[in-house]
Chain A
């Protein structure tokens, strides 16, 4: 079960029964738009605020995941989810609608793997039969909380990233067919003293490297064990930094087996600077795009390393640096999973 200091091996192989992804207008125009279950052409979703629109996307993602597995909300033991808006308000209101037992998480853009790791742990330990694990973000809700009011139209440097509008959800169970969660490594805070909220990829890269190194060491496996090591939202800047750091540690990866969700999601015509970000970035890319590749057999083993910048409006006002974290979860398909 516990292997090393902070890696869990899930011997009972919690199954991802179904996944669901919901996106907004920018996601409808992105590289992986065909992998979404539901796309909206309006940032507001006919709601009165961006946060309410985010709540609705989370609810929709849960509904779709439940429908795909032919389950009802009252059969779910726990809803484990979070986001990065004030006191995870959109997630809490989605939990209110779901009416299931709820554990709210905050790990910013690393929420997807924090939730998946904890959900898999609970199911592996027979603490639950069905768990909905998800996360969401909304570009305009994040902009006005962490940057400037949306109507302000402030300039952004090329190192900045674009928060994904969407929600992603996975339904986990102790039995059934589907990709299985085999292990997880919980990250620790890595803070390199970066204070620029427009360069979060650079701030998060060392955290991703620390978690990847720890995971491989504690699982006693080589990086080549995975067909793909997938980071959450390092973007172009953070991806390049992390690749260099991993190389200096003797781990050589290339563009085919080391990818970033933030660089995968949007296309070049979309003005997103260094790439996508936000909790939904890793969630919709993994649960929409990459999980389909696993189901088709194109990928057998992936390590998802979602990265989070855990700064807050408070810490920015106090001119603190950006604490970063990364949690890793391995998802595998087929009978050869260890």
Chain B
């Protein structure tokens, strides 16, 4: 059943992005950041984790999950270390993704021609 929900929830998030893009004429950058902020807000009000439990990769793969991870890490660290944890926690969960982007980006740039 989770496969079906992953398909539907992931698809709905993408449809929201496509509507922002085509109907509201947002640029790709605005569409992307809006979805990140949307994920962050949903996690802030405690709705994103239940969505992940419900739809699995349908909620973790789209970019909204990045917003969720930023807020999630910040809130967890804040519980342990107080207000300073908000700063140290932002990249707690997302560090693997960000580090991977940098490392693989550098490798790709060395192998291929990165200038477009």
Contacts and interface: CB of A to CB of B under 8 A. Distances in A.
Interface of A: 49, 140, 144, 148-152, 154-155, 157, 196
Contacts of B25: 196
A148 B114 contact: no
Contacts of A152: 28, 116
Contacts of A144: 116
A151 B114 contact: yes
A150 B22 CA distance: 20
A151 B108 CA distance: 13
Nearest to B18: A155
Interface string B86-116: 0000000000000000000000000000111
Contact of A150 (B21, B28, B116): B116
A155 B21 contact: yes
A148 B22 CA distance: 16
A157 B22 contact: yes
B28 A155 contact: yes
B32 to A, nearest CB: 11
Contacts of B114: 151
Contact of A154 (B22, B28, B115): B28
Contacts of A148: 28
A140 B116 contact: yes
A149 B116 contact: yes
Interface residues of B, number: 7
A151 B116 contact: yes
A154 B22 CA distance: 12
Contacts of A157: 22
Interface of B: 21-22, 25, 28, 114-116
Contacts of B115: 49
Give the dominant DSSP class at A's interface. Answer: loop
A152 B28 CA distance: 10
Nearest to A196: B25
A138 to B, nearest CB: 12
Given A140-B116, A151-B114, 13 more contacts: A49-B115, A144-B116, A148-B28, A149-B116, A150-B116, A151-B116, A152-B28, A152-B116, A154-B28, A155-B21, A155-B28, A157-B22, A196-B25
A46 to B, nearest CB: 13
Nearest to A150: B116
Contacts of B22: 157
Nearest to B114: A151
B18 to A, nearest CB: 8
9 contacts: A49-B115, A148-B28, A149-B116, A152-B28, A152-B116, A154-B28, A155-B21, A155-B28, A196-B25
B62 to A, nearest CB: 16
Contacts of A155: 21, 28
A148 B114 CA distance: 15
Nearest to A49: B115
B51 to A, nearest CB: 26
A157 B115 CA distance: 25
Q: With a 10 A CB-CB cut-off, give which of B21, B114, B115, B116 has the most chain A CB atoms.
A: B116
Nearest 10 pairs of A and B residues by beta carbon: A150-B116, A151-B116, A149-B116, A154-B28, A144-B116, A155-B21, A148-B28, A157-B22, A140-B116, A49-B115
Nearest to B25: A196
Contacts of B116: 140, 144, 149-152
A122 to B, nearest CB: 39
Nearest to B21: A155
Nearest to B22: A157
Nearest to A155: B21
